[in-house]
Chains A and B, each alone.
Chain A
Amino acid sequence: MIQTATIDAGPGHTESPGLWVLAWRRFRHDSVGLVSLYVAAFFLALMAASAAGLIASDWGKEVGVSHAPPGFMGPGTTVTPTQRAAMSSASPEVSRGKERDDSGIVDPLADVLVQIRAKAPPGSVDTDVADPLADVLAEIRGQSGSAAAAEARAPTLIFGGDKWGRDVLKKTIKGTETSMSVGLAAAALAALLGTVFGALAGYYGRWVDDVFNWFYSVFTSIPYLLLILSIAAVLNQKGTMTVILILGLTGWTGIFRLIRAEYMKHKVREYVQAADAIGASNTRRMFVHILPNVSHVVLVQLSLHVVLFIKSEVVLSFLGFGVGVDTVSWGSMLNEAQSELLLGNWWQLAAATIAMAMLVTAFGLLTDALRDALDPKLK
């Protein structure tokens, strides 16, 4: 590969291909890497579309019956409309306390009215006691009637429904958005911290290096998940932003170590001395001259950490220390799936598992391919 590149940049050419052009040429021949790139790009597009509200924005709508089976298993043969009605009246959480059924709306004054009418002496003017709630009830009945018509619940959904009859496919897409955005943002934060710290420690050396190394050894002597859990316990507030901060602020150590080593290697090279000779400042030498030469390490680490953080986010959300209750993530889906499995409803578990496995595998293979393409000396 390198040889062809040097031939390309032979006497006739003035410009030789840079690192990224060469890497892309190598990457293009890696079919596994390309496929995983496409899969990762697909998930990214899914995330972007979901974040923009183009798809799955109505994931919280209860479109199907409770625990609706997936469509490919055939219509829910066991759930007839009468059973469904019985089910929805039997389990209050299905309708979340709101009576949607026409028959379910009872005039709270009916009994009282009957009594009053019975007590009234025949022939008296009071016989016709008007129901004071009549207008309100009519309104409610009308509303619920139209609502029931509009919200005819599907017996099956494409990939099944959850306890409240929400579409599992849409939940999975929304969960992809949450888990991926947490993974990407946390990885970006960790990469930023790790790169800046590593650059400072590796470039300046001496006491700066000692200070950052001290930070490093403090953070790494507490097991990763234990550190995350203690911070989660202390912050005691759930939310996507909290998870991103926890993961990003604790996860920079690995990147720091690698970048520091790279900077120590690069700072004595000729091109940095040349930059010094033309009067480039320390900051400029660090981030304009050296950084592009170590950026491939950052990229590989970024991709590696996305996977790591997605896995951590799933565990945190599963345990209830992660994203908020009104946000759906793969972790919270797995949490629901645990009790659903006891009823034999496997689809939510399968959906979250498959989505996560696909993304994690794709990112893992992409990392390997990136590493091979960017560092041909390896292997």
Chain B
Amino acid sequence: MLAYVLRRLWQIAPTLLGVVLLVFFLFNWVGGDPAYLLAGKISNPEQIENIRRQLGVDQPIYVQLWIFITQIATGDFGVSWATNEKVSEIFASRLGPSLTVLVPLLLVDTLLAIAAAMLVAYWRGSLTDRLVMIGCTVGQSISILVYIIAFQYVLAYQLGWFPVQGWSESFTENLFKFSLLPIIVGVLVSLAPDTRLYRSFFLDEINQEYVRTARAKGMSETRVMWVHVLRNASIPIITNVMIQLPGLLAGAFLIERFFSIPGIGREVLLAVERSDFPVIKAVTIYVAIATMIINLLADLMYKVVDPRVQLK
């Protein structure tokens, strides 16, 4: 087990190097000279020279790459170009709000999707199944933007059931007041594709021999579905949930922007708008690292769920 983990970590190294090179190449070469971006309109050659020296872009390329790698290793990406706030502090303060919305969102969505998928898979071919599947297909075809705009307008602006947007200092108020509508919208958007996907996972299992055996032994349908089928279908479900995790962290930017939640996603958008390269670089690198580690964790979890899985 330990040997497996170590080998996997070792295999991450080349990929990580690739990500570092890709990001470095993007921001230092494709992006042009950052000094011109930073100096803005009031630029004179002297200032630009100054900024170049501060950023280290007057150095040869391998020195710049080394600076970048030390930045990643120490987690010190300097200060944001836009606000002069330290990049590490930006992340520390934005992670909380993001997680406040995303953790409940992911939990509720996964549980609902599993329940709904199991239901429609059990009654496969019935009217319920077909209606739910049609609903999912149509629901999926509408842009997430429309869901957010419509729900914010109707539920918050017109009916006043939720605050339109906002965030406070208190965690409970954030979770039970400001996060509710974002969570509802987020669950609605991800429920349709997840239900479709999990339904196919359950269908793969439901016709297996062991299900018939369990029924023959006189087990209740609830037990057959929730214990036997669910456990066997859980490997692809775990994969799917884990795959969603890193993308969710940075990808919830639409929800965070619309509801003014000071999370990481909104920070990424602001950074892109302001050409705030240190922040984008840091997000991209750390989210990529998180993705690789989560993939490893997912593989380890397979072993927990299914002892037959061989880690090699």
- A residues with a Cβ closer than 8 A to B are 214-215, 217-219, 221-227, 229-236, 311, 314-315, 318-321, 330-331, 334, 337-338, 341-342, 349, 353, 356-358, 360-361, 364-365
Contact, CB under 8 Å: A314 / B143? yes
Once the chains are docked, how many angstroms separate the CA of A357 from the CA of B23?
A: 35
Contact, CB under 8 Å: A221 / B283? no
Q: B239 within 8 Å of A by Cβ?
A: no
How many A-B residue pairs have C-beta atoms within 8 angstroms? Tell me. 116
Once the chains are docked, how many angstroms separate the CA of A361 from the CA of B137?
A: 7
Closest to A357 in B: B141
Contact, CB under 8 Å: B26 / A221? no
B157 to chain A: which residues have CB within 8 Å? 342
Main secondary structure of the interface of B (DSSP, over half): helix
Main secondary structure of the interface of A (DSSP, over half): helix
Once the chains are docked, how many angstroms separate the CA of A223 from the CA of B14?
A: 18
Contact, CB under 8 Å: B146 / A353? yes
Q: B250 within 8 Å of A by Cβ?
A: yes
A sample of 16 more A-B contacts (CB under 8 A), given A222-B291, A225-B247, A230-B281, is A214-B15, A223-B250, A223-B251, A225-B253, A226-B250, A229-B268, A230-B26, A230-B280, A233-B271, A315-B145, A334-B146, A341-B149, A349-B149, A353-B142, A357-B141, A365-B137
Once the chains are docked, how many angstroms separate the CA of A217 from the CA of B253?
A: 24
A219 to chain B: which residues have CB within 8 Å? 22
A234 to chain B: which residues have CB within 8 Å? 26-27, 30-31, 277
B142 to chain A: which residues have CB within 8 Å? 353, 356-357, 360
Closest to B20 in A: A218
Contact, CB under 8 Å: B14 / A214? yes
Q: Which of A224, A232, A330, A360 contacts B141 (CB 8 A)?
A: A360
B140 to chain A: which residues have CB within 8 Å? 360, 364
- One digit per residue, 1 when the CB lies within 8 angstroms of any chain A CB and 0 when it does not, for chain B 251-282 equals 10110000000000000110111010100110
Once the chains are docked, how many angstroms separate the CA of A217 from the CA of B289?
A: 12
Once the chains are docked, how many angstroms separate the CA of A277 from the CA of B18?
A: 40
> What are 11 A-B residue pairs whose CB atoms fall within 8 Å in the complex?
A218-B18, A226-B247, A226-B283, A233-B31, A234-B27, A234-B277, A334-B146, A356-B142, A360-B141, A360-B142, A361-B137
Contact, CB under 8 Å: A315 / B246? no
Q: Tell me, rounded to whole Å, the shortest Cβ–Cβ distance linking A222 to chain B.
A: 5
B288 to chain A: which residues have CB within 8 Å? 221-222
A319 to chain B: which residues have CB within 8 Å? 269
Contact, CB under 8 Å: B141 / A223? no
Q: Tell me, rounded to whole Å, the shortest Cβ–Cβ distance linking B34 to chain A.
A: 10
- One digit per residue, 1 when the CB lies within 8 angstroms of any chain A CB and 0 when it does not, for chain B 116-157 equals 000000000000000000000110111111100110010001
Contact, CB under 8 Å: B19 / A236? no
Contact, CB under 8 Å: A217 / B15? yes
- One digit per residue, 1 when the CB lies within 8 angstroms of any chain A CB and 0 when it does not, for chain B 140-184 equals 111111100110010001000000000000000000000000000
A217 to chain B: which residues have CB within 8 Å? 15, 18
Q: Tell me, rounded to whole Å, the shortest Cβ–Cβ distance linking A289 to chain B.
A: 32
Q: What 9 pairs between A and B have smallest CB-CB spacing?
A: A218-B18, A223-B247, A360-B141, A234-B31, A233-B272, A361-B141, A357-B141, A226-B250, A217-B15
Q: Known contacts A221-B291, A233-B271: does B138 contact A357 (CB below 8 Å)?
A: yes
Q: Which of B22, B138, B145, B246 contacts A223 (CB 8 A)?
A: B246
Closest to B257 in A: A319
Q: Known contacts A226-B250, A341-B149: does B18 contact A215 (CB below 8 Å)?
A: yes
Contact, CB under 8 Å: B280 / A233? yes
Closest to A311 in B: B143
Q: Tell me, rounded to whole Å, the shortest Cβ–Cβ distance linking A314 to chain B.
A: 5
B18 to chain A: which residues have CB within 8 Å? 214-215, 217-218
Q: Tell me, rounded to whole Å, the shortest Cβ–Cβ distance linking B225 to chain A.
A: 23
Contact, CB under 8 Å: B149 / A334? yes
Contact, CB under 8 Å: B141 / A356? yes
Q: B287 within 8 Å of A by Cβ?
A: yes
Contact, CB under 8 Å: A318 / B275? no
Q: Known contacts A218-B19, A349-B149: does B272 contact A229 (CB below 8 Å)?
A: yes
Q: Known contacts A222-B284, A230-B23, A357-B138: does B254 contact A315 (CB below 8 Å)?
A: yes
Q: B292 within 8 Å of A by Cβ?
A: yes
Q: Tell me, rounded to whole Å, the shortest Cβ–Cβ distance linking B151 to chain A.
A: 12
Closest to A235 in B: B30
Contact, CB under 8 Å: B15 / A227? no
Question: Could you say which of A218, A227, A319 has the most chain B C-beta atoms within 10 Å of its C-beta?
Answer: A218
A353 to chain B: which residues have CB within 8 Å? 142-143, 146
Closest to B279 in A: A233
Contact, CB under 8 Å: B291 / A232? no
